[in-house]
């Protein structure tokens, strides 16, 4: 089921979503200060490409991760989290779209607090 879900996801927008996150990561990496934020964008891009069967665990961040998450939330995170929540709600209207909506809810969690998050699976 994971393979089928990932293939459907890839065909209907997963590849484009991954390209958007990669482009955002490259833009943020232009400055030296933005490199840690770009690395987080690359992490999210990998998850957006092939999300089914992967879990996101939040936490395990130190003082640097806490500072990074605070800056991320202020400048990038809250907009992205709201976007993914909205898309997830739209997908969850139909029974067929619920698995895809759940993936967007997973992205919303990661888009809010990416520093210290672990992607397993």
Domain boundaries, position 21: 2-120
pTM of the model: 0.83
Contacts of 96 (CB under 8 A, 6+ apart): none
Q: Give the integer Cα–Cα distance in Å for 33 and 1.
A: 41
The single residue listed with the structure tokens 């996150």 is 21
User: Residue 111: pLDDT band by 50, 70, 90 thresholds?
Assistant: confident
Three-state SS for 16?
Answer: helix
Q: What percent of the chain has pLDDT over 90?
A: 26
Rounded average pLDDT over 77-101:
90
User: Residue 92: pLDDT band by 50, 70, 90 thresholds?
Assistant: very high
H helices within the chain, ranges in order? 2-9, 15-28, 35-49, 63-72, 78-91, 98-112
Tally of structural domains, the chain: 1
């Amino acid at each position: 089921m994971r393979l089928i879900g990932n293939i459907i996801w890839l065909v209907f927008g997963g590849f484009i979503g991954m390209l958007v996150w990669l482009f955002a990561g490259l833009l943020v990496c232009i400055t030296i200060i933005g490199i840690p934020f770009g690395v987080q964008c690359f992490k999210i891009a990998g998850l957006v490409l092939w999300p089914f069967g992967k879990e996101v665990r939040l936490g395990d961040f130190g003082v640097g991760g806490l500072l990074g998450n605070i800056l991320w939330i202020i400048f990038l995170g809250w907009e992205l989290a709201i976007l993914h929540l909205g898309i997830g709600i739209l997908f969850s209207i139909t029974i067929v779209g619920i698995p895809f909506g759940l993936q967007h809810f997973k992205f919303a969690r990661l888009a809010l607090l990416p520093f210290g998050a672990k992607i397993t699976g």
